[in-house]
Amino acid sequence: MSEISRRAALRSVKLLDTPSEERFDRLASVAAASLNAPVALITLVDEDRQFCKSAVGLPGDWLRDSGSAGANSFCRHTVALGEPLAIEDARRHPLVRSHPATARGVVSYLGVPLIVHGRHVLGTLSVLGFEPRRWTDLDVRTLSDLASVVAEIIELRAAVVDAEQKAVAAEAVQNALLDGEERFRTAFELAPIGMGLVTPQGRWMEVNAALCNLFGYTRDEMVERALFELTHPVAASDDRIPHDSMSVHVERYQMDRRCVHRSGREFWVQLSASPVAGEGGDPIYYLVQMQDLTTRKSEEERLRTLSLEDELTGLYNRRAFLAMAGEQFKLARRQDRGLVLLFADIDRMKWINDTFGHLEGDRAIRTVASVLKHTFRESDLVARMGGDEFAILAADVPENDLSILIQRLTEQIERVNADDATHAYPLSISIGSALFDPTGPSSIENLIALADAKMYMDKGAKSD
């Protein structure tokens, strides 16, 4: 990704030089509290300056001074790396020991890049300390999870701002209708979104160029069709308003509809209709506006998937696992049935990374994820909790079958070792388990802690 495209993406989200917002301040506060750090910042890094969108625990004069921070700033280094930057003691770190913030007392730093649309690094979520601190893997995972939430909010905020600006433009077109026929005609024809005039019976009277382009028809072909002939065959079942609502005295209505292009391609539009009344007060036609929502719908689905799925393995991520496991706990209590939680960790993961490199480490994680996916049922929750740790929540597993299940999982790993000659080392995992009693006070956090402790006992037994 070039620096030019990164800065273009930064400007496109329209966050620079905006006032503080509660949602960002709340996330910064959560970051500070979660990592027990005195200072947390959400920072956007522009070409020659830094803009602090949110700051917790930092004096105001520091923010003024940091706005023109040079090339050796903590956050700029994190953006350049594109991955978390952990600094135990800034006074001894070659990148930032000469930075003004170090001279003012900032000693420890942990920053995670804010990545939007999967590739653009806009800035950082960071925490600072005034004493040396060795940051743990859990600290990095926690801040990374929070950074992904910040990035998602930035994306959704940008989409809302963009939609609001388009709505203002559409409102301006409607106001032009009241100012005069000639001005309306010009606005109608040059409008960037599809617009048309429709009879109360739903027949097109006039259409603009944008609407013709949206559906791929000429003007003559468009006016030969009824409004609802252009929707998807199953759209009728999706409608919140019946087709005859066009003849009802409504001020305005709006809905998302699935439509069909002349080529047969399906796409989504936001359809809104406003009545234009005649002298008697009855609608003589409706001003209909259609805006292509295909990109927004795709982005919503992408964000939904990103918020639940681990990018490396395709398994559920930690956030999704905890949310769905909580629902499984409630269901298990109502139905009075047990659950079993398995916690697995890849053995010698640090040695694999140090000896063969992180790409091979990623391959080992993907291999174990594939084994887990094929060993357990579709109804079981299988997730990568972070790093080389995995969790599985399964229902209807009798206690006496638990050892058989663990043995089967171990055998699947051994089969991978036997079948894959490209591995330069044998894969193995350590496993811990915990049983959920629906009549007891157990929580998902307690069950994870218990299974995690048993997993480390299993790992320790292998090293004896």
Question: What angle, rounded to 10 degrees, do the helices at 137-179 and 294-308 form?
Answer: 160
Q: Which residues contact 119 (CB under 8 A, 6 or more apart)?
A: 1
Where in the chain do CATH 3.30.450.20 domains reside? Answer: 191-295
**Is residue 392 exposed (0-12), middle (13-18) or buried (19+ Cβ within 10 Å)?**
buried
What pLDDT sits at residue 428?
92
DSSP-derived pairing of the beta strands 194-198 and 204-207:
antiparallel
Residue 193 · residue 287 · CB < 8 Å: no
Residue 397 · residue 301 · CB < 8 Å: no
**Is residue 439 exposed (0-12), middle (13-18) or buried (19+ Cβ within 10 Å)?**
exposed
**Is residue 267 exposed (0-12), middle (13-18) or buried (19+ Cβ within 10 Å)?**
middle
Q: Rounded distance, CA 208 to CA 197, Å?
A: 9
Written as one letter, the residue type at 325 is A
Going by CATH, does the domain composed of 309-463 fall within 3.30.70.270? yes
Long-range contacts, 155-164 (Cβ 8 Å, 24+):
155/13, 155/116, 155/117, 155/299, 155/303, 156/303, 157/13, 157/15, 158/12, 158/13, 158/14, 158/15, 159/296, 159/299, 161/14, 163/296
What pLDDT sits at residue 359?
92
Residue 290 · residue 268 · CB < 8 Å: no
Q: Rounded distance, CA 442 to CA 127, Å?
A: 33
Give pLDDT < 70 ranges for the chain: 1, 59-72, 165-166, 168-184, 233-252, 299-306, 399-400, 441, 463-464
Where in the chain do CATH 3.30.450.40 domains reside? Answer: 3-154
- Identify each DSSP E strand in 4-60 by its residue range: 39-45, 50-56
Return the closest-CA partner of residue 175 out of 248, 249, 276.
276
Residue 277 · residue 250 · CB < 8 Å: no
**CATH number belonging to the domain at 191-295, selected among 3.40.1190.20, 3.40.50.300, 2.160.20.80, 3.30.450.20:** 3.30.450.20
Alpha helices in 281-438 (DSSP H): 294-308, 318-335, 349-356, 358-375, 402-419
Residue 72 · residue 95 · CB < 8 Å: yes
Residue 143 · residue 39 · CB < 8 Å: no
Where in the chain do CATH 3.30.70.270 domains reside? Answer: 309-463
The C-alpha torsion from 186 through 192 and 197 to 201, rounded to 10°, is 180
Long-range contacts, 259-264 (Cβ 8 Å, 24+):
259/215, 259/230, 259/231, 259/232, 259/235, 259/290, 260/230, 260/231, 260/232, 260/233, 261/215, 261/216, 262/215, 262/216, 262/217, 263/216
The CATH classification number of 3-154 equals: 3.30.450.40
Return the closest-CA partner of residue 372 out of 435, 316, 455, 293.
316
3-state DSSP assignment of residue 351: helix
What pLDDT sits at residue 362?
93
Element (H, E) at 454: helix 444-463
What pLDDT sits at residue 56?
86
3-state DSSP assignment of residue 215: helix
3-state DSSP assignment of residue 187: helix
Q: Rounded distance, CA 195 to CA 227, Å?
A: 12
Task: Return the DSSP state at 426.
Answer: -
Residue 269 · residue 292 · CB < 8 Å: yes
- At residue 255's C-alpha, the angle toward residues 252 and 256, to 5°, is 155
